[in-house]
Amino acid sequence: MALPRLKRILLKLSGEVLMGNQPFGIDPEFVAEMAKEVKQARDTGLEICLVIGGGNIFRGMAGAAKGMDRAQADYMGMLATVMNALAMQNALEQLGVHTRVQSAIQMDAVCEPVIRRRAERHLEKNRVVIFAAGVGSPYFTTDSGAALRAAEMKCDALFKGTSVDGVYSADPKTDADAVRYDTIDYDTVLANNLKVMDASAVALCRDNAIPIVVFSIREKGNLAQVLSGSGIRTIVQGARQNSQGTREGA
């Protein structure tokens, strides 16, 4: 089963991949490694929209669990994603890759607001566009932000680089019988509540026929492998897409 031909992708990186071996925060060495992988992908001619989570700094749910107001904590989480976006922008620009950060929470002194047409222009000019602050609203995650930007920027696929190498039938850390899927359809992911992305993100991808590719970003060179069609990953797409290997309506 193949992905559609890729011209433009949305790459979502969990915040935790920026913290390297630290328990928290940003490790500039790891950010630099991630930036190299992004540059390599961009150098193949792909247009890249990037979304980075904030879990290495702050998650709203964690704040709420300790008694904070959930919305207030979520706004703090969104601000964390802006810090990560700026760290990635810095690392990419040190490699000579031109970038723009667009934030769903307006922050004029440090980045642009999200303006789709302007983002289109950046991509045309070979810039990487980093979308920060998720959807800009509490009670969402950056996975939903990634799905939303993938849809509005008409990306051919959403690549989710995280610390696991795909979608499993159960948690592989706690269940020795857990198996990794090669491909799986959106509805099975939703019906079985499989841990890929939050349900709203999966549903948005399903409704817009955007394949989701879940892979581990922790191994060096894995992004390039997965983009070239090899490498360990799980592809989530519609049942018809899975059997035909094309995007519905494509």
Rounded distance between C-alpha atoms, residue 92 and residue 237, angstroms: 30
Site for ligand UDP (CB under 6 A): which residue of 37, 38, 132, 140?
A: 140
Contact between residue 46 and residue 126 where contact means Cβ atoms under 8 Å apart: no
Rounded distance between C-alpha atoms, residue 8 and residue 151, angstroms: 11
Under the binding rule (CB under 6 A), the answer on residue 74 touching ligand UDP is: yes
Residue nearest ligand UDP, Cβ-based: 53
- β-pairing, 128-132 vs 99-103, is parallel
Interacting span for ligand UDP (CB under 6 A) from 30-38, 87-95, 108-116, 130-138 = 130-138
Contact between residue 111 and residue 158 where contact means Cβ atoms under 8 Å apart: no
Site for ligand UDP (CB under 6 A): which residue of 142, 222, 237, 242?
A: 142
* For ligand UDP, the closer CB: 68 or 239: 68
Shortest gap between Cβ of 129 and ligand UDP (angstroms)? Answer: 17
Shortest gap between Cβ of 103 and ligand UDP (angstroms)? Answer: 11
What are the angstrom distances between the C-alpha of 32 and each of 118, 191, 220, 222?
26, 38, 12, 15
Residue with tokens 């998720």: 134
Under the binding rule (CB under 6 A), the answer on residue 55 touching ligand UDP is: yes
Shortest gap between Cβ of 162 and ligand UDP (angstroms)? Answer: 8
Site for ligand UDP (CB under 6 A): which residue of 99, 102, 103, 141?
A: 141
Under the binding rule (CB under 6 A), the answer on residue 161 touching ligand UDP is: no
Site for ligand UDP (CB under 6 A): which residue of 59, 100, 122, 149?
A: 59
Under the binding rule (CB under 6 A), the answer on residue 60 touching ligand UDP is: yes
Residues that bind ligand UDP (CB under 6 A): 14-16, 53-55, 59-61, 74, 77-78, 80-81, 134-135, 137-138, 140-145
